[in-house]
Amino acid sequence: MNSKRSTLLAGLIGLACCFTAQAAQNISKEEVSHFKLTKVGSISVAETGGAISSPSDLHQEISKRADEKGAKYYVVIAAREHGPNFDAIVDLYK
């Protein structure tokens, strides 16, 4: 029984690592220049009704949308808290 738990735990950790490795990462403008990354677009992330109610929710949504656009990295150009919501404008890079 203990072996099954260990195998399950190892599988879950491996799965979590795979998802983490695929998520677009927040980087600085300096890193864009240093690594000579290519800009692939810009996106605006804004929701109403408190759907994005914390900075971590905002970064999670940005990463998800950047992944959908095929970006590996993003740079936050502007971000703000507006009532119960957070929104941002970001540039996307490969």
Q: pLDDT per residue over 43-85, tens digit each?
A: 999 988 888 999 999 999 999 999 999 999 999 999 999 889 9
Cα–Cα dist 25/63, whole Å? 7
CATH number assigned to the domain comprising residue 11: 3.30.1660.10
Counting Cβ atoms within 10 Å, is residue 10 exposed (0-12), middle (13-18) or buried (19+)? exposed
Residue 17 pLDDT class (50, 70, 90 cuts): very low
pTM for the predicted model, two decimal places: 0.74
The answer to whether the beta carbons of residues 27 and 74 sit under 8 Å apart is yes
- Residue 37 belongs to what domain range? 2-93
Q: In terms of Cα–Cα distance, which of 76, 68, 65, 67 is closest to 27?
A: 76
Domain count, the chain: 1
